[in-house]
Structure 1
Amino acid sequence: MSSKDKTWWIKYQGHIPCAGIFFPDEDWISLKSSRGYKLHTYRFHLEAPQAIVFLFHGIHVSSGIFSYLAKRLYELNIAVLAFDQECHGKSQGKLGIIYTIDEYINCGIKYIEKSIENYPKNTPIFILGESMGGTICMNIALEMQSMIKGMVLFAPALAASPSFSPFLIKLARCLGCLCPRMPTKSPDLKSLSRNPYNEGWYQENPEYYTGKTKARTGSALLKSFDKLRPRLKNVRVPFIIFQGGNDTKVNIEVNRKFVENSAVEDKEFVYYEEMRHEVCNEPEIEEIIEKVLNWISQRIS
């Protein structure tokens, strides 16, 4: 079933911000993972944009989650580019399994490097990521410090959620090695958003995975947190983080402390007490988008 098939998404228009909004250019450039999987690319294209924003989606969703935000950026003369990671969205690979976050980081860097060859030199580059996409953005910022003008993060996953006990974390690491495809925990879709349409959107979306989390996926995320933690102090890219107080999927205090301890002078932590994890579908999204547009505009003026 195509994501453009109205039989499923039309009823979500007016309720889910991205419903019925599509990237004008898809599959516009060749991109493959190290396993040879073809990765599906997207963009809102401008020949001479005032900036380029690269978007990085979260776990088990697709870049389509950002289409409304992308359109708003495009209306400000900003080119917006994205792609689905392997085993996500329209990219090749079976939905629901993550082998390593390093692969996603490397593909992100490769996509940026290939894409900017199609735009005027010295066009300001920004990166934006949600959840796992925030993990990816942090690592890209560390590898491309001199190239990235700024970073926008929605509920970034920088550490395991406090709901995971030390025992469960150890168990996840072991199962990820011994039984990588073993189904573990079913996702709690209700806890993702206060939007009453969010659960149905997730369940019906053919580009999303809503089955039980595979053991390898959990261990891959934990390993990425371990590798990133000692490097966080080296981030020098200006950033703004949007975080909800009712987010049960990430470690809110780790995110807050990262901001407090960061040596970056141009930094901001925007906190919404009632907001949950799926920022793009939360009631605050319009206010957040306005803040994002202003934040980026101020850094390219």
Structure 2
Amino acid sequence: MLHSPGERPPNPRSVLLAEVAQATQRLADAGVPSPRFDAEELAAHVHGVKRGELHTVPDADFDARYWEAIARREAREPLQHITGRAFFRYLELHVGPGVFVPRPETESVVGWAIDAVRAMDVVEPLIVDLCTGSGAIALALAQEVPRSRVHAVELSEDALQYAQKNVAGSRVVLHHGDALSALPELDGQVDLVVSNPPYIPLTEWEYVAPEARDHDPGLALFSGEDGLDTIRGIERTAHRLLRPGGVVVIEHADTQGGQVPWIFTEEKGWADAADHPDLNNRPRFATARRATP
């Protein structure tokens, strides 16, 4: 099509870009932490493309369902619940109401765990993931430690349904059960126990971000007055499951730095208990090694 001098040709991206800009402002006004990213991710989801392909969506194809998705995010419904997916390391996971949405902070936990397992002189390391939720940690370990044997334990039936979808076709063996009494048949044999358990104190409820407080299952968030009840129980489970020299890796809140290693004491049969920082240099997870008699 020819255009008269001085006339600007129509921009095929003008409508979509304008809508994304408007949506970004709405999400920012609602207090959403990453408004531009979320506005683009929702546009890509609604139009069935990747974020980097938004420029390929013609104006005529603009989908009014975009504003329905923006309204849900504006109300602080998690982005991952709206899209039905979450990304974790190299994985794309099914998530939604009833299962904890994996966070980027936990990727540091998995990275340390992978390095620890690779450093072991074990041909087929045996790994147990307690409180697996969506199965994110277990799947990442199975994918990145190729000869590992991975067992994952989850108590919630709602979360278990998502985990079953996610681990289908993988080497992960999924168990419906309580992390505090799980897998007695593996006692003394496990090389690595890893967990992202509930660790928020009940007294902190009102300070939790709406996306987590109102949408993540409480079972995956809160654990007693100081937030450490489940971690204390996992300490006992890990000591029972691990072989001498085996390692436990457990996530905790950044405000609990220094507290969790004291749960894994020498008197209880542990050695080398220590805290480790996340990518923002905040204390995020603790590790310990089952002492060798």
Higher strand share: 2
Q: From the CA coordinates, give the structure whose radius of gyration is larger.
A: 2
TM-score, L = length of structure 1: 0.36
TM-score, L = length of structure 2: 0.37
Higher RCO (C-alpha under 8 Å, 6+ residues apart): 1
